[in-house]
Amino acid sequence: MQLYENIRNRRNELKMTQTELALKTGYSDKSMIAKIEKGTVDLPISKIDEFAKALHISPGDLMGNPEKKSPTILLEASETPKHTQAIRIPVLGDVAAGIPIEAVEDIIDYEEIPAELAEQGQFFGLRIKGDSMEPRICEGDVVIVRKQEDADTGDIVIACVNGDSATCKRLIKYPDQIVLMPLNNKYDPIIFTMEDVKNTPLTIIGKVVELRGKL
């Protein structure tokens, strides 16, 4: 399966041993990592985020194409590259569909991102409300978002449903439906048929490219 090959390739790219990856993902020894990489043991969906965090890559890229040249890296704040020109972007407390990001007045803070990243599009920060994306993304955390109107399946996105305030969810696309998937299994996925999408406006505001967790 592509996911397991991607785990192996990314681990090798980082020069990380199977033992190190096991410790980072809650396994007692490297034997389980070896089985996962061979595809002889299924990896629960709940574990994908742990592996993505350990391998410093987004869940969507971990599940996607290993030949992709520029994977989306999820960095903790302490891991932000040093000695690079930084660009300040606003952190917003609330976003609604149809309102241009530059027009939102609810700026609660600012974050810095590398200039190289800023060149890739328009970015803003968003402070997370609620626990639907725990344990990976917690209430009060700040996510760095690249403004875009669409995203790939598996990406974590900021979306608005029926014009309401933004929600952070994983985007899953099927031929006949779109799903906004929480990471916290206490919550049910939000499922839209193609007919639902026509009748209930679903707007993708942007893709989460970085997580800056609170202390």
DSSP secondary structure string, 117-151? HHTTS-EEEEE--SSTTTTTS-TT-EEEEEE-S--
Judgement on whether residues 207 and 110 belong to the same structural domain of the protein: yes
Judgement on whether residues 149 and 101 belong to the same structural domain of the protein: yes
Catalytic status, residue 132: yes
Judgement on whether residues 87 and 48 belong to the same structural domain of the protein: no
The H-or-E segment that residue 38 falls in is helix 30-38
Q: Which tokens hold the place of 49?
A: 């985020």
Percent of the residues in the chain that have a pLDDT greater than 70, as a whole number: 83
Number of domains in the chain: 2
Give a yes or no: residue 71 inside a domain: no
Give a yes or no: residue 35 inside a domain: yes
Alpha-carbon distances, residue 203 vs 11, 67, 172, 178 (angstroms): 35, 29, 14, 12
Q: Does pTM top 0.85 for this prediction?
A: no
Give a yes or no: residue 18 inside a domain: yes
Q: Band of the pLDDT at 146, cuts 50, 70, 90? A: very high
Judgement on whether residues 132 and 163 belong to the same structural domain of the protein: yes
The H-or-E segment that residue 171 falls in is strand 167-173
Judgement on whether residues 84 and 58 belong to the same structural domain of the protein: no
Judgement on whether residues 83 and 57 belong to the same structural domain of the protein: no
The model's pLDDT over 90-110, given as tens digits with 9 standing for 90+, comes to 998 877 665 666 656 678 888
Residue 57 exposed, middle or buried by CB count within 10 Å (0-12, 13-18, 19+)? buried
Choose the catalytic residue: 132, 147, 173, 186.
132
The model's pLDDT over 151-189, given as tens digits with 9 standing for 90+, comes to 999 999 999 887 777 889 999 998 889 999 999 989 899
Judgement on whether residues 118 and 178 belong to the same structural domain of the protein: yes
Q: What is the CATH number of the domain that holds 29?
A: 1.10.260.40
Choose the catalytic residue: 38, 58, 78, 169.
169
Catalytic status, residue 129: no
Residues pairing with 181 in the sheet? 170
What is the strand order of the sheet 107-114 is part of?
107-114, 86-92, 123-127, 142-147, 202-212, 156-161, 167-173, 177-181, 190-193
Give a yes or no: residue 204 inside a domain: yes
Domain that holds residue 158: 78-212
Judgement on whether residues 44 and 87 belong to the same structural domain of the protein: no
